[in-house]
Amino acid sequence: MAGVGIRLCRPEELSDRQVRMAEQIFDTEIASILAPLAVTSPDQFPPLANQSLVIGVRLRTPGGSRYVVIPFGSSTPRLLTMYAEGGHAFLLLEDAVAMFVDRMFPNEEVLECLPFRITRHAEREVREDRAGDLIALLPDAAQDVPTNDCIRLEVDDRATQAFIDFILAGSHVTTMCVFLIPGPIDLAGFAPLYNLPGFEKHKYSAWPPQAPPDVNLAASMFDTLSRRDIILHHPYDSVDAVVRLVEEAADDPDVVAIKQTLYATDRDSPVVAALKRAAENEKYVTAIIELTPRFRDPPRLEWARALEQASVQVIYGIRGLRTHAKLGIIVRREPNGIQRYVHFGTGDYGQAAARLASDVSLLTNEEELGADATDFFNAVTSHSYGRSFRMLDVAPSGLRIRLLDLIQTEKQRKLAGQKAFIKAKLNALGDRQIIEALYDAAKAGVRVLLNVCGFCCLRPGVPGLSDNIRVISIVDRFREHSRILYFHNGGDERVFISTADWTPRNLDRRVELLIPIRDPRARRRLIQILNTYFRDNVKAAVLKSDGTYRRPKRGPNSKRVRSQEVLYQKAVAEVQRMEQSRRTVFEPHKASDTKR
C-alpha cells in the first residue's frame, strides 16, 4: 500500500504531530466509546461477540497480574486517519489503545495490551423438537448466540503464554485452535480503504455479468426451455434469466404452481417479490425457507412473514437438518399437458452474492428431472423419507452411496484396462469414506484432479497412495462456490452439478442434491469450465503432500492462464459473437415493403 501512497503507521513511526493527533482521538472519542471489562476468574469471562476484535490487557498486581478485556463495537472505526503531507496515513485502533491504555488504569502498570479474536461455531444446536414455532424460537436464540462453542482463537503473536492461557481458560478454546497472527487481526477492517478516492487505476477493472448469448430475455423463457437446457455460469453469466423465469411465471395465466427453496437471498430480492405476486395472482406457491439461528437476521424474518401474508405456503425446513438444496419448480398447463420448468443451482438466490461467487445454474424442461424435482420438493415438505428418484441423488439418504459408486466404477474400468478419470470442483473435502475411495481409485491408476476452494483433508502426491491425485485451490476476485463433478465412465462421460461438498456435514446433516447433466451441449460447457480451472497457473495453488500450498511453476514459454479471467473473456466473446451473428442475418424485403 505504501507504494501507492497509503501508509499504515506503527506507533513508533509516528511524528510528534501524529502522536498528538492520536492522543486527541483517544481522549475525545475512543475512551468515551470503549468499555473495559474486568475478568476476575475464567467463569466471569464476558460473552464476547463472534469474530469481533477485542483488546486484552494484563496489569501488574502485588500478587501477580489481573486481566481486563476491551471489546471493539461494530461502530468503532478500525482505521484512524493521521496527518500526512502526501497520500494517506492511518493508525490501527488497537495500536492507539495500546499507546494510551494506561490512562484507563491510573497507578497501575500495563504488562501487555494486545488484540485477539474468537470465532464461534455458526451452527448453534437448537432443540427444534421442542419448538412448535421456529420463528418464535429465533429471537431467544439470537440473544444467547455469544455462548456458542469457540472453535478458533486468533491472538497477536507477541502475546506471552500467560496471556494466551487467560483467554483459553475463559473462552474454552482448545490449544490446537490457537493461531498466532504476525500482523493485524481481521483484515476485513481494511475494507474502507477500497473507497478512498484517487485509486481507481489500482482496482480490478469492472467485469459486469454478461447476458447469456443463448437466452433472449425479451422472448418467453418457457419457449426457450422447451427447446433446450440452459447452463449459466455465474457471475460471468448474469442471473437475469433465472429471475426472468420466476417473474414470467408469476404473471403467466397458464402457470398453476411454483415451488421454491430459499436458503439465502437479498433483502429486496426480485425472486421473493415474484413469489408474492404469483400468490396474489392465485397461483399455488410453496416456499421452503431455511430459518435457523444461524440465519436469524431481521430481513430474513421480514420477507418470510411477508410471503406468508401474501398467501405463500411457507415451510421452515426440516427439523434436525439444513435444507441446502437450491431448487425452483414452475408447473404450467400447456396444450400437451402439464409441463415442469426447473431451476437447479449451486448457489443462493441473491443477486448480490451472484456477483461475488462462482456458481452454476441449470434451467431445464427435461421430463424426468422435472418429475424428480417435484417428488423431492414434496418429500421435504411432507417429511417423507426413503423415497427413490429417477435421476437425482439426495443427501442425507443416498448421495454419499452414489458418489462412492461413481468412484468405484472408475476404479473398475481402470482395472479392466480402460481409461479412467475423475475431476471435481468443490468447496471442501473432509469425508473419510470419500477420501479413502479416492485413495483406492488412485492406487488402481485412476487419474484424479480436484479443485477444492476451502479445506481439504486428502493428502495428494503420497507415494503408493495418492500419486495420481492432484489438488489445486483457486483464490481470485470471485469466491469459487460451484460444485461440478466429472467421471469419464469409459467415454460415456457423466457430468453433475451439486449443492453438496464432500464433508460429513453436507452428506449426513443437510438436505443436498446431485443433479446429472444430460444435455450434450450443457455437458460440454461444464467440462470446458472444469478444464479451464485446472489449467490455471496464475491464481491456482497446488496442495503438496505435506499440507502446504505452492504456486505452479510456469516455464519460459508457458502461456499465462488465469482461469477467472479466461472465463470472463469467453463470456464477453460469446455475447459479441451472438450480437455479430444477429446483425448479419439477411432478411429479404416483403412485397408490402416495396409498395409506395
Active site residue ranges: 324
Return the C-alpha cell found at 74. Answer: 461494530
Between CA 407 and CA 440 the distance in angstroms is: 9
Cα radius of gyration (the chain): 28
Helices 298-309, 134-143: inter-axial angle, 10-degree rounding: 170
Contacts of residue 333, Cβ cutoff 8 Å, sequence gap at least 6: 254, 255, 256, 339
- For residue 282, the SS3 value is coil
In eight-state DSSP terms, residue 29 is I
Paired strand residues for 452: 426
- Count CB atoms within 10 A of the CB of residue 7: 16
117 in Cβ contact with 185 (< 8 Å) = yes
* CA separation for the pair 56, 58 (Å, rounded): 7
How many residues appear in the chain? 596
Q: What gap in Å lies between CA 268 and CA 70, rounded to an integer? A: 36
**Exposed / middle / buried, residue 61 (Cβ in 10 Å: 0-12, 13-18, 19+):** exposed
Q: In the numeric block, which cell numbers belong to residue 189?
A: 477492517
Please report the DSSP string for 119-174 in residue order: EE-SS----GGG-S-HHHHHHHHHHTGGGSPEEEEEEETT--HHHHHHHHHHH---
Rounded distance between C-alpha atoms, residue 380 and residue 323, angstroms? 8
**All 3 cell numbers of residue 483?**
460444485
Backbone angles phi, psi at 292, to 5 degrees: -130, 170
DSSP state of 545: T
The span from the CA of 274 to the CA of 244, in Å, is 9
Cβ atoms of 230 and 259 within 8 Å: the answer is no
Q: Are 197 and 535 in contact (CB under 8 A)?
A: no
Q: What is the 3-state secondary structure (H, E, C) of 177-214?
A: HEEEECCCCCHHHHHHHHHCCCCHHHCCCCCCCECCCC
Measure the CA dihedral 249/253/257/260, to 10°.
20
362 bridge partner residues: 231, 344
Report d(CA 232, CA 341) in Å as an integer. Answer: 15
Q: Report the alpha-carbon distance of residue 167 to residue 162 in Å, rounded.
A: 9
Residue 477: closest CA among 240, 265, 206: 206
Report the distance separating Cα 57 and Cα 67, nearest Å.
Answer: 6
Check: CB of residue 460 under 8 Å from CB of residue 469.
yes
Q: Which helix (H) or strand (E) holds 130?
A: none
